[in-house]
């Protein structure tokens, strides 16, 4: 299994370059400052640059032109997709994985489709996804779920144990009693 985080780090420059075996980072620095392309039987391999530097560029230049869908009914899109935190998160995950897997020979892109796009696309654009109230031209701010704080000592039960169903006042038939 590939470590996608370190691969993306190499692409974006957030991690050191991949060096051939036997070459230390000090050797690579010396070769770089001396203008050499390699040292002691190996060459310093610089990570490839990412195709896109911003998720917005990837969405506009790659994702939307490539994955066209008839919108309405079960599929939704919001022209102001960047106002939806969940959409930003899902699209960023897709973009990062795409940047890494596009470089893998053979089945890299097939893996991206199967493990990433095919999972995220129906959620992202689905009728109950982050754009469920929006259309291409109208953004509607999603309603945030209401949350009520727990009573004062709720989580301070014996040893930090959550109260049982009977302590919560649930009927015995709901908690498995007879």
DSSP code per residue over 23-41: --HHHHHHHHHHT-SEETT
Structure-token match 């070459």, residue found: 23
Print the domain residue range for 102: 55-125
Looking at residue 89, its pLDDT comes to: 96
Same domain, 38 and 88: no
33 with 68, same domain: the answer is no
Given this model, what pLDDT does residue 126 score? Answer: 92
- Whether the CB-CB separation of 94 and 120 falls below 8 Å is answered with yes
pLDDT (tens digit, 0 to 9) for every residue of the chain, 178 residues total?
Answer: 445 455 555 555 554 444 444 544 454 444 444 444 444 556 788 888 999 999 999 999 999 898 888 787 788 999 999 999 999 999 999 999 999 999 999 999 999 999 999 999 999 999 899 999 998 899 999 888 899 998 888 887 655 566 666 666 666 665 554 4
| Three-class SS state of 42 | strand
pLDDT of residue 82: 95
Structural domain includes residue 163? no
Residue 60 sits in the same domain as residue 39: no
Q: Is there a single domain that holds both residue 37 and residue 59?
A: no
Structure tokens at 86: 């969940």
Domain count, the chain: 2
Same-domain status, 39 and 15: yes
CA distance 123 to 125: 6
State residue 29's pLDDT score: 46
61 and 96 share a domain?
yes
- Helix 4-12 / helix 85-101 crossing angle, nearest 10 deg: 80
- Tokens for 43, please give them: 């060459």
| Within a domain: 146 | no
- Does some domain include residue 49? no
Closest CA to 120 of 78, 87, 167, 72: 87
Within a domain: 31: yes
């Amino acid at each position: 299994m590939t470590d996608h985080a370190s691969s993306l780090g190499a692409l974006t420059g957030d991690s050191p370059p991949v060096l051939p075996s036997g070459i230390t980072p000090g050797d690579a620095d010396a070769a770089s400052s001396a203008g050499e392309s390699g040292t002691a039987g190996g060459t310093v391999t610089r990570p490839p640059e990412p195709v896109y530097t911003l998720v917005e560029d990837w969405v506009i230049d790659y994702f939307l032109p490539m994955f066209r869908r008839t919108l309405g009914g079960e599929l939704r899109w919001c022209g102001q997709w960047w106002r939806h935190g969940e959409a930003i998160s899902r699209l960023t995950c897709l973009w990062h994985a795409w940047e890494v897997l596009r470089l893998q020979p053979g089945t890299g892109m097939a893996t991206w489709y199967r493990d990433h796009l095919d999972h995220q696309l129906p959620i992202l654009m689905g009728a109950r996804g982050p754009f469920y109230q929006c259309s291409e031209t109208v953004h509607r701010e999603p309603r945030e779920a209401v949350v009520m704080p727990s009573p004062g000592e709720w989580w301070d039960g014996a040893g930090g144990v959550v109260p049982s169903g009977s302590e919560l006042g649930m009927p015995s038939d709901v908690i498995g009693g007879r």
